[in-house]
Structure 1
Amino acid sequence: MPKPTSQRAAEKIAKVAARPNDLVTLWRDVTDVLAEAIPHYWEPCSYSVDPASLLITSHFQENLAEFPPECLTAEYYDDDVNQLADLARSASGITTLHDATRGDPRRSPRWHRNMKLGGDQEMIVALRNRSGEMWGAAALYREPGRPLFTSDEKELLRSLAPHLAEGTRRALLVGAATDPEGLESPGLIILNDRGDVESATPGTDRWLSELPGGDADGAALPPAVLSVATRALRTAKSRDRPGEVALARVLSRGGTWVVLHGANLLSAREHRVAVIIEPAHPARIYPLLMSAYGLTERERDVTRLTLQGFSTAQIADELVVSTHTVQQHLKSIFEKTGVRSRRDLVGKVFFTHYEPRFRDNEERVATQRPILGGPAHR
């Protein structure tokens, strides 16, 4: 008996997402699968977001080299529906423009902008991994006169989201490893099925020397690297776990936590595995906010939650303080950042620190360089 379309799509997406590819390659491969599973207009639009702030760091849509500036402005300054901030806060993690407007999308400025590009319907899903972190979003469109997206199609796209989230995260790590920006950039090692190193990105030797049992020249690979590689190779032989990725969290010699990811190179003739090594919690937004605005640690926490769309009461619950205390922190934050409202604060942080990365990533796509995540170094 042939497998249902949804099961075939899930297995294909899991395999595609497990490959240690750059983000553009991932999304081009994903596009082919989505075209078979969910009929839609033109091409999907994908976004990566910084999970610390939920602000956009890149977009990719075939044949749309530059994201319209007015759409970015509307995303962070306008009062509308179907925005990524709304999606990030939603329990379901998926929404359509028709549902958000109760069947009358003409009320939404977003719909009018989409119609100029030929898209009447819009369905967006949050790319959350199984631990709940949001790494991006994907949007599908349909032209006027087509049937509305069905509940089955929504559920299928939502079921694919965890695979796409992990694929996006891994692709950003691969991009940072192959085009590093600093000492904290991830390292990438390619091993064959005998555990021999075939290649490694610059700077990986530092990570190897930091892990227990390893050394900088690679003569002795750390046991954690070999363990993750072995587990990843083992999953390649299991048809029941397509695309499963091995993970390990290791305390470095310097006392910081490091995360290792093992992913199979499924397209290779021989069994190979890629091991990505990264800091456990880069959290680049925190030093950014401190250096740019001189925010205190508590003010940084309040800002982070504000960027994620938390209300005053929700921030108070999260930080276990009173709403009055949160309001006082917000007043101080507004004074230090030179804004007058929460929306202005989100827009200021995005257009000052994230839009440069967003536009840099567009240039990277055009010049076939890997997309990077997080705010730009300034």
Structure 2
Amino acid sequence: MESEVLPRAVDKVARLAGQPTDLATFWRSCTEVITTVVPHFWAPCFFTLDPASLLVTSHFHEGLDEFPPEALAHEYYGDDVQKLVDVVRTPTGVSTIHEATGGDPSSSPRWQFNMSMGGDQELIARLRTRQGETWGAVGLYREPGAPMFGDGDKEFLRAIGPHLALGARQAMTFGEATDPEVPDGPGLVVIDSAWQIRSTTAGADHWISRLPDGDLEHGRLPTAVLSVAAQGLRDRKLGQPSTVAFARVLAKDGTWLLLHGAPLEGDDQPRVAVIIEPAHPARIYPLLMSAYELTERERDVVKLVLTGSSTTEIAQTLVVSPLTVQNHLKSVFEKTGVRSRRDLVGKIFFTHYEPRFRENEQRVLRGRPIRGGPVPHATQN
């Protein structure tokens, strides 16, 4: 029986990932599936991460409207195991706090905090697409005295991780495209089986005009949009599970745009939603340049520091010497007013990402879509 439950649960999460919806709804739907396979205390804690920096942009934990400030400060300034960026960088992408502490977590401030919330065990799994972009992480907890998380639990989370990542990315983009509070967000076009435009968001014409052969004013959709829509409509016609179709297109201005879409459910008339957005999660780069006047190479060094790379790893990635990396870091520290890597990561998070993190908590409470990335014009501390 168990051999049948696991594939069905993985398939269910994959189906959910292909349905255009907001992120909170997606997390709630996935929680129902996860609970049937991996028993846990309270509810999963879902995090979204900025793929460009691996810094947290939101959390969703049913019943916990505000993430404790002390836990957030410890994540970026504390000295401990099982931090999100550390788990994300592991070969398997899954870790338990008991494993990370050699079976005795009592000296871990993270474990002590979990215990104060009623949880003993903690299992964290990264959410990374098959293309290699990390869009989040999920934490599961068990109360004292409960069975330990086992290999089967970790195997299941590794199996659904890529689907959760794809669904998170899709849900955030869909939410921003449909949110009138985000005028510069992605563009959304809804197309029916007769290739007619049924509806668009305010920013859709901007994105379509950047594609090589599009003219929304005269009802002419770009070839790339039609291709993505055709894939979605084909799945709907064949009665196959909803999947997310992708296309990467070179825009007229030489930048790359990403198109993705999925069939819309619950309507007799087949329709597909196609979303157009910038192809790369690079909002951290102009932020670093404008806020701290970093050089291009200093930006590259900071990005790698944020994602947990060591001096040796940075030197290898940038094909420079470790001494050169240290010199760049010295300059970065002077420009940002910090004295260490940890302080640098903490400053960037609490200046540019924590405002987004807290804004997203309020957006969930108001039923508004969760947004990704840093806040570009946050006031520096």
TM over 0.5, shorter chain: yes
For residues 283-332 of structure 1, give each alpha carbon's deviation from its aligned partner in whole angstroms, at most 9, with x where no partner exists: 11011011111100000000000000000000000000000000000000
Amino acid at match of 1:299: E
- Name the CA distance, whole Å, in 2 between partners of 1:363 and 1:255: 37
Match of 1:265 in 2: 264
For 1:143-182, what per-residue CA distance to the aligned partner results, in whole angstroms no more than 9, with x for missing partners?
A: 1111011101110111100000011111111122123676
Contact 2:88-2:125 within 8 A present in 1 as well = no
Corresponding position of 1:92: 92
| TM-score for the superposition, normalised by structure 2 | 0.95
Where does residue 115 of structure 2 map in the other structure? 115
Residue 112 of structure 1 and its aligned partner are, at CA, apart by 1.0
SS in 2 for 1:131: coil
Q: Conserved in 2, the CA contact under 8 Å of 1:15 and 1:242?
A: yes
Number of the residue aligned with 2:178: 178
Equivalence for 2:106:
106
Question: In structure 1, what residue type is equivalent to 2:95?
Answer: T
The 5 Å alignment of 1:213-224 reads 213-217=213-217, 219-224=219-224
Partner of 2:45: 45
Is 1:17–1:26's contact at 8 Å kept on the other side of the alignment? yes
Where do residues 40-189 of structure 1 align in structure 2 (5 Å cutoff)? Answer: 40-179=40-179, 185-189=185-189
Q: Corresponding residue for 1:356?
A: 355
State which drifts further: 288-297 or 245-254.
245-254
1:178-201: CA deviations, max 9, x gaps? 236767521111222222222211
Q: Does 1:300 align with 2:299?
A: yes
Aligned partners of 1:205 and 1:218 also within 8 Å:
no
Q: 1:106–1:112: 8 Å Cα contact kept in structure 2?
A: yes
Which piece of structure 1 moves more, 259-268 or 168-177? 259-268
Tell me, in whole angstroms, the C-alpha distance in 2 between the residues paired with 1:245 and 1:137: 21
Structure 1: runs of 5+ lacking an equivalent: none
Q: Number of aligned pairs?
A: 377
Q: Which runs of 5+ in 2 are unaligned?
A: none
Between 294-303 and 17-26, report the one with greater CA deviation: 17-26
- How far the C-alpha of 1:281 sits from its partner, in A, is 2.0
Tell me the secondary structure at the aligned position of residue 194 of structure 1. coil
| Cα offset, 1:268, TM superposition | 3.8
Contact 2:184–2:203 under 8 Å retained in 1: no
Question: Is 1:249–2:248 an aligned residue pair?
Answer: yes
- Conserved 8 A contact 1:97-1:111: yes
Task: Write the deviation string for residues 322-367 of structure 1: whole angstroms up to 9, x where unpaired.
Answer: 0000000000000000000000000000000000000000110111
User: How far, CA to CA, are the matches of 1:115 and 1:22 in structure 2?
Assistant: 32
Contact 1:188 1:277 in 2 (8 A): yes
Residue 249 of structure 1: SS of its match in structure 2?
Answer: strand
CA distance in 1, matches of 2:265, 2:138: 24
When the two chains are superposed, the root-mean-square deviation of aligned CA atoms in Å is 1.7
1:13 equivalenced with 2:13 (yes/no): yes
CA deviations on 1:105-126 (whole Å, 9 max, x unpaired) are 2121111111111111111100
Tell me, in whole angstroms, the C-alpha distance in 1 between the residues paired with 2:218 and 2:250: 19
Q: Residue 333 of structure 1 corresponds to which residue in structure 2? A: 332
The question of whether the paired residues in 1 share the 8 Å contact of 2:48 and 2:137 is answered with yes
* Separation in 2, partners of 1:300, 1:152: 41
Question: Displacement, 1:253?
Answer: 2.2
Q: Could you tell me how far apart the structure 1 residues matched to 2:229 and 2:36 are?
A: 33
8 Å CA contact retained: 2:211, 2:222 = yes
Q: Secondary structure at the match of 1:4?
A: helix
Contact 1:180 1:186 in 2 (8 A): no
| 1:372 aligned counterpart, secondary structure | coil
Q: Return 269-278 or 172-181, whichever deviates more.
A: 172-181
Partner of 1:225: 225
Deviation of 1:3 (Å): 6.3
Whether contact under 8 Å (2:19, 2:243) holds in the other structure is no
Post-superposition CA distance 1:227-250 (Å, at most 9, x none): 1111122234567x7443211111
For 2:283, the equivalent position in structure 1 comes to 284
| Whole-angstrom CA distance in 2 between matches of 1:71 and 1:2 | 36
TM-score (norm 1): 0.96
Structure-1 residue corresponding to 2:341? 342
Instruction: Between 254-263 and 337-346, report the one with greater CA deviation.
Output: 254-263
Shift of 1:221: 1.2
The worse-fitting range, judged by mean Cα deviation, of 69-78 and 223-232 is 223-232
> Contact conserved, 1:11 with 1:242, CA < 8 A, in 2?
no
Structure 2 vs 1, CA of residues 296 and 85 (structure 1 numbering), >3 Å: closer, same or farther? same
CA distance in 2, matches of 1:3, 1:194: 42
Q: Percent identity?
A: 59
Structure 1 position 23 matched with structure 2 position 23? yes
Q: Is the 8 A contact 1:94 1:126 kept in 2?
A: yes
Determine helix, strand or coil for the equivalent of 2:189: strand
> Would the aligned equivalents of 1:184 and 1:279 in 2 still touch at CA under 8 Å?
no
